[in-house]
Amino acid sequence: MRITMIGSGYVGLVSGACFSDFGHEVVCVDKDEAKIAALTAGRMPIYEPGLDQLVAANVAAGRLTFTTDLAAAVDLADAIFIAVGTPSRRGDGHADLTYVFAAAREIAAALTGPVVVVTKSTVPVGTGDRVEAVLRECQPDVHAAVVSNPEFLREGAAIGDFKRPDRIVIGTDDPFAREVMRAVYRPLFLNESPILFTSRRTSELTKYAANAFLATKITFINEIADLCEAVGADVQDVSRGIGLDNRIGRKFLHAGPGYGGSCFPKDTLALLKTAEDFQSPMHIVEAVVKVNESRKRAMGRKVLRALGANDTGGEGARGKTVALLGLTFKPNTDDMRDAPAIAIATTLADAGVTVRAYDPEGMAAATAMLPGLIATHDAYDAATGADAVVIVTEWDAFRALDFQRLAATMTAPVLVDLRNVYRRQAVEAAGFTYIAVGC
């Protein structure tokens, strides 16, 4: 199959590289000439484990190429994927579909024969209808079947998720499109990956529903963690106790500083706006968004209390120093979008605390977002002169810290573990004051 992937960001690049690894001929298109030049030279615009090797292997095999020439890439394609960004629109939280419709118009201008146009981007219900209208308006005599095929990739594990998916959701009622999409995903048949064919609108909503549900699980266990602290229970044991119930499941039940990243924050907001447009309120999701936003600042106040501050304005922490370990919203990515570390660092800085920080991949993005942040070279450099060390993101590099070495560089041996990476007994045995979440 000949596949054109419009958009060479996170979803487009990972999807394009994986499709080419299946044996398809893939062209990734992007308007950013510098990005295309870098990709052609083997330099990745994002950090994703294994992606650079995957891209290099398929470029060398001649199955994966990069271009800024959309018309040429569309001309010979069997399937054209739209994988452009759909960020939250400024001011109202709606998904910004500017790039989606711009891509649709450019595709329409270049079409010469029957083709399947696939929205891989996360888009609100009804977007496929509007893309189809754009194509028909520009090319009324060309059969262009519009399909919804949402992605379910986790940053840091995207290649594995693409090649061994829990499910593949394809939204179309067009027989021609179904056959093309079956051919596109045929390499996964050997893995017995379930393919769910639905209507286009159902497929579009499935993506938002999935992300909203996972965001709800995270927010639920975080509120349970607060209750555990109040009553003297252990949220980790509670998580195991409920997670062993197959109806609930173990995943996304790890208490922490709240969710962030490129998907959950914008997708929950977009779902709420869709519900509002259709006069079908979603009170649970509304609560999830509100609680998650307040939690990030609450974790900053938790750190201030560990420094001896009061609950009102952080008085007592001014002039002290904190080392933040991990800044990206999760490990194995360089993505800082809506990361809890942003709100935590801002809360600390507002209270007059000096913030030193280290992240294995996120330093460049973090220092651009947080000008007052002091960037360091590793965890021990970050801890130099610190009154507390705070684990914000659970990178593997922070799972086996040398506590004696850490304490030797610190002003006071205090560890605030917002990811519950360590066991209390081990940390306290090393002479540290240990503050965790929900236990």
Q: Rounded CA gap, 381 and 337, in Å?
A: 25
Q: Whose structure tokens read 């304490």?
A: 407
pLDDT in tens, 65-80: 999 999 999 988 999 9
Residues 329, 399, single domain; the answer is yes
Q: Is residue 203 situated within a structural domain? A: no
* pLDDT average, residue stretch 360-377: 96
Please give the pLDDT value at position 93. 83
Please give the pLDDT value at position 221. 98
Which residue in 98, 287, 108, 277 sits closest to 205, CA to CA?
277
Question: What percentage of the chain has pLDDT greater than the value 70?
Answer: 99
Global confidence as pTM: 0.93
Q: Mean pLDDT for the chain? A: 95
- Residues in a beta bridge with 197: 170
Q: Is residue 252 situated within a structural domain? A: yes
Please give the pLDDT value at position 90. 77
Write down the catalytic residue from 28, 228, 263, 439: 263
Residues 167, 272, single domain; the answer is no
Tokens matching residue 257: 């500083």
Q: Give the helix/strand (H/E) hosting 17.
A: helix 10-21
- Sign of the torsion angle spanned by Cα atoms 166, 171, 173, 179: negative
Q: How confident is the model at residue 89 (pLDDT cuts 50, 70, 90)?
A: confident
Final residue of a structural domain among 291, 309, 331: 291
Q: Is residue 330 situated within a structural domain? A: yes
Residues 184, 228, single domain; the answer is no
CB–CB of 229/263 below 8 Å? no
Residues 278, 371, single domain; the answer is no
Contacts of 379 (CB under 8 A, 6+ apart): 323, 325, 358, 389, 397, 398, 401, 406
Q: Rounded CA gap, 415 and 296, in Å?
A: 18
Strands 321-325 and 388-391: parallel
Residues 11, 138, single domain; the answer is yes
Q: Rounded CA gap, 135 and 144, in Å?
A: 7
Final residue of a structural domain among 242, 259, 291: 291
CB–CB of 130/159 below 8 Å? no
Q: Say if residue 314's pLDDT is above 70.
A: no
CATH number where 71 lies:
3.40.50.720
Domain count, the chain: 3
Q: How confident is the model at residue 311 (pLDDT cuts 50, 70, 90)?
A: low
Final residue of a structural domain among 179, 198, 217: 198
Q: Rounded CA gap, 351 and 317, in Å?
A: 7
Residues 10, 75, single domain; the answer is yes
Residues 371, 232, single domain; the answer is no
Residues 361, 314, single domain; the answer is yes
Q: Say if residue 190's pLDDT is above 90.
A: no
The three-point CA angle 263-266-271 to 5° equals 105
CATH number where 215 lies:
1.10.1040.10
Please give the pLDDT value at position 120. 97
CA 365 to chain centroid, in Å, comes to: 15
Residues 352, 240, single domain; the answer is no
Residues 38, 181, single domain; the answer is yes
Please give the pLDDT value at position 409. 94
Look up the domain containing 172 and give its range.
2-198
Q: How confident is the model at residue 25 (pLDDT cuts 50, 70, 90)?
A: very high
Helix axis angle for 283-306 and 200-231, nearest 10°, is 40
- Residues in a beta bridge with 116: 79, 145
- Is 263 part of the annotated catalytic residue set? yes
DSSP 244-260: TSTTT-STT----S---
Q: Considering only residues 413 and 92, tell me which one the structure prediction assigns the higher pLDDT.
A: 413
Q: Rounded CA gap, 100 and 132, in Å?
A: 12
pLDDT in tens, 197-209: 999 999 999 999 9
pLDDT in tens, 26-83: 999 999 999 999 999 999 999 999 999 999 999 999 999 999 999 999 988 999 999 9
Residues 284, 385, single domain; the answer is no
* pLDDT average, residue stretch 260-268: 94
Q: Is residue 348 situated within a structural domain? A: yes
Phi and psi at 168, nearest 5°, equal -120, 120
CA 189 to chain centroid, in Å, comes to: 27
Buried-state track 111-123, b at ≥16 Cβ within 10 A, e below 16: beeebbbbbbbbb
- Alpha carbon of 403 to those of 141, 376, 433: distances in Å? 70, 18, 12
Which residue in 38, 94, 61 sits closest to 269, CA to CA?
94
Helix (H, G, I), strand (E, B) or coil at 204: helix
Residues 285, 318, single domain; the answer is no
User: Looking at 148-157, 188-197, 383-392, which range is the least confident one?
Assistant: 188-197
Q: Is residue 349 situated within a structural domain? A: yes
Q: Rounded CA gap, 422 and 95, in Å?
A: 39
Q: Rounded CA gap, 439 and 404, in Å?
A: 24
Please give the pLDDT value at position 139. 87
Q: Say if residue 374's pLDDT is above 70.
A: yes
